[in-house]
């Protein structure tokens, strides 16, 4: 996998355009003048989580004695379930309307640094540990694009409206289904060859 394809994969899973509506919903109780500061803070927290997981995730795998094929298959299943939710959203989008400012949850994680991104990072590092610098560049690139989109979330939400955001999220969901199936097949192939 090239750096570009890894970046596109991570970007698709992070789904910045699909998360614009989620971010605006999570920031509904935050005064408009503080929203950009909160978004920037949550983006930095998400980056710290992602980079930590990129470098320490394989050690965690070793401690838990998880095999590579288990990682591929479980990552594929998680991605598939997330993709299905993106394609067929439930009407249960009435989120917790607390009056406090969101901190780490749900914006930094799981919206940006979610389980599917973490599983994908683990799969990439486990498959080719010698290409750590490539995965780091891909992660930084995907995060930078995500940060750019989400920092423009208030403006994008006004342009896309609800139906446009829903269409983008469903398109990303379709792409993720294909990625999830490929991860699952890679796990089966890896198991058959070892």
Residue where the block lists tokens 């004695």: 65
- Looking at every residue in the chain, the average pLDDT score rounds to 84
Bigger pLDDT: 81 vs 143: 143
- Whether residue 7 contacts residue 141, with contact meaning beta carbons closer than 8 Å, is answered with yes
User: pLDDT tens, 34-68?
Assistant: 999 999 999 999 999 999 989 998 788 788 887 77
Q: Residue 16's beta-bridge partner residues?
A: none
Per-domain residue ranges of the chain: 3-193
User: pLDDT tens, 87-110?
Assistant: 887 765 444 444 578 888 888 987
Global confidence as pTM: 0.74
Q: Which residues contact 114 (CB under 8 A, 6 or more apart)?
A: 13, 82
Residue 6 banded pLDDT, cuts 50, 70, 90: very high
- CA 84, CA 86: separation in Å to the nearest integer? 5
């Amino acid at each position: 996998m090239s750096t570009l394809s890894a970046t596109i994969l991570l970007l698709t899973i992070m789904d910045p355009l699909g998360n614009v509506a989620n971010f605006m919903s999570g920031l509904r109780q935050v005064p408009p003048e503080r929203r950009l500061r909160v978004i920037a803070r949550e983006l930095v927290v998400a980056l710290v989580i992602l980079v930590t997981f990129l470098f320490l995730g394989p050690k965690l795998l070793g401690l838990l004695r998880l095999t590579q094929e288990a990682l591929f298959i479980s990552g594929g299943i998680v991605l598939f379930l997330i993709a299905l939710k993106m394609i067929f959203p439930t009407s249960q989008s009435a989120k917790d309307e607390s009056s406090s400012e969101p901190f780490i949850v749900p914006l930094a994680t799981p919206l940006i640094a979610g389980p599917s991104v973490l599983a994908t990072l683990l799969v990439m590092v486990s498959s080719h540990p010698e290409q750590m610098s490539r995965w780091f560049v891909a992660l930084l690139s995907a995060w930078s694009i995500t940060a750019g989109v989400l920092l423009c979330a208030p403006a994008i939400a006004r342009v896309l409206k609800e139906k446009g955001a829903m269409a983008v999220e469903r398109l990303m969901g379709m792409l993720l289904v294909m990625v999830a199936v490929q991860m699952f097949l890679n796990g089966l192939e890896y198991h058959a060859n070892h």
